[in-house]
Amino acid sequence: MAPFAASAQGSQKLEAPADRSSPPQFPNGFVWGLATSAYQIEGSPDADGKGKSIWDTFSHIPGKIKNGDNGDIASDHYRRYKQDVALMKAMGARAYRFSISWPRIFPDGSGTPNAKGLDFYNRLVDELLAAGIEPYATLYHWDLPQALQDKYRGWQSRETSKAFGDYSSNVAKALSDRVRHFFTINEFSVFVDLGYRGIDTTADGKPARIEHAPGLRLSPAALNQVRHYAVLGHGMAVQAIRASGRAGTKVGPAENISVAVPVIENAAHVKAAERATRDLNAAYLGALLEGKYSDAYLTTAGRDAPVFTEEDMRIIGSPLDFVGINVYRPSVYVTTSDAAPGYRVIPESASHPRMASNWHLLGPEVLYWGPRLLQSIWNVKEIYIAENGCAAADEMAADGTVSDSDRVMYLRNAMMQLQRATAESIPVKGNFVWSAMDIRMERRLQPSVRARPCRLQDAEADTEAQCYVVSRGCVSKCGGVGWPKFGKSA
């Protein structure tokens, strides 16, 4: 019998192929954007009165960063931002999520704002708007002023939370006439857990350590207190922006949500995924969105639980306009269980595919489950994918092209999953691809692997847009691999 031919008996008639003349669409007004962080792109660490950050200090400690890399020059964005904005415009970006360097604004962490530092971000915002790119500002992407680390031990003190609120107030006053969306803090769990505890692991059979600035090894109790002061700082920033920003200014976090993906899509397994996702995010997103720490979190922490007041929790739970989530990979896969806590984690297979960075387990379905679970657990009204993307080797051919087929594959499949979420009325308002340009100091990536975006689709065109990568001074075509067509969007 020929392959796929129907047998003579007991066969069912094959259905006609689905009509694909109208491809799946994102909602009108969907925001297509790019994202970066200040320390990783700006360079100019001492320019115009900028103070040192903990990353300026940490990256210059011998042995802390592979190859001795640092952000002293990075992508030289501070001096060449106009070229970078032009590249974003050429890619078709409609929005740009950038972070503001706290020590550029307050070299000593607090006090009198540095006018030249604020002026840089004023110029950047104006340049973006002139290019038709909407600015989205992140107030903290890990570059704490070194002065606050020295004076208060950084996020180990509530004084840093207060200083963050004051800094946020000043930025809102200066920029909210043009910047309508502010993300407070990027990825609590990364800068807290890796910066104040770190991870001891093995690499190639040898002991290895993963840590971020400031590179501390706190006890579990001290770490939980840092977690508390970080989310308290977020709450103080929300209140400061409400008080100092222009009417209509929107504010929310940008957290790398831990997503539990159900192994089977039925009601029981989805409920298990909800329970697991709530537990996994109890210290950060759960506290922000519920205004309390879950009983399970406090019970597990026991005597190491953070010290807090009812007023702290009211501040932490300040109402939000949106929630930004950074989504790259599933955290775990789960199945339902009759035993407490109502779910069971399925171990990752050794053969599960990964992207170029070993940490990046391939699971594009997380772009559906992340927003779906965020809404079903916490009834969030607006969601932004504040980061997603992948790293690739980006080997340039003799003709100057970079055929990053793996990145195109990843983004196509991830966006199909995200489109499914929007089709089910999950309120995802936009997606920001990490990163807008080469990041010369990408802490989590393997050597020779870079995080770059594809060109965003021109939804008005009849044909698929080409995929592009960005290098300083040029936009290189990527081997003719097209971006998936999703229809019209903003």
Give the E-state strand segments of 93-219 in sequence order. Answer: 95-99, 134-140, 181-186, 199-203, 206-210
Q: How far apart are CA 454 and CA 141, in angstroms?
A: 23
Residue with the bigger pLDDT between 422 and 446: it is 422
Residue 4 has pLDDT above 80, yes or no: no
Give the torsion through C-alpha atoms of 463, 461, 28, 362, to 10 deg. 40
Assigned domain for 15 exists: no
> For residue 290, is it within any domain?
yes
Residue 10 resides in a domain: no
- Tell me the pLDDT tens digit for each residue of 324-382: 999 999 999 999 999 999 999 999 999 999 988 888 999 999 999 999 999 999 999 99
Distance CA 205, CA 301 (A): 31
Judge whether 490 lies within some domain: no
Q: How many CA atoms lie within 13 A of 435 on its CB side?
A: 22
Check: CB of residue 342 under 8 Å from CB of residue 376.
no
| Band (67; pLDDT cuts 50, 70, 90) | confident
What is the number of domains present in the chain? 1
Q: CATH number, domain at 436?
A: 3.20.20.80
Kind and range of the H or E element at 480? strand 474-482
Alpha carbons 248 and 92: distance in angstroms, whole number? 26
pTM above 0.85, yes or no: yes
Alpha-carbon gap, residue 370 to 327, rounded angstroms: 7
Residue 3 has pLDDT above 50, yes or no: no
Does 17 fall in a domain?
no
Please name every residue paired with 207 in a beta bridge, in sequence order, or none if there are none: 202
Q: Domain range holding 337?
A: 31-482
The set of catalytic residues is 187, 387
Alpha carbon of 141 to those of 230, 253, 284, 305, 353: distances in Å? 12, 11, 16, 26, 29
Question: What beta strand segments (E) does 108-236 contain?
Answer: 134-140, 181-186, 199-203, 206-210
pLDDT for 301-321, tens place per residue? 999 999 999 999 999 999 999
Q: Who's near 475: CB < 8 A, 6+ residues apart?
A: 87, 90, 91, 455, 468, 469
26 within a domain of the structure (yes/no): no
Q: Is residue 80 part of a domain?
A: yes
Residue 271, classed as helix, strand or coil, is: helix
Instruction: Name the nearest CA neighbour of 268 among 191, 336, 196, 364.
Output: 336
The answer to whether residues 415 and 393 touch, using CB atoms and an 8 Å cutoff, is no
Question: Does 4 fall in a domain?
Answer: no
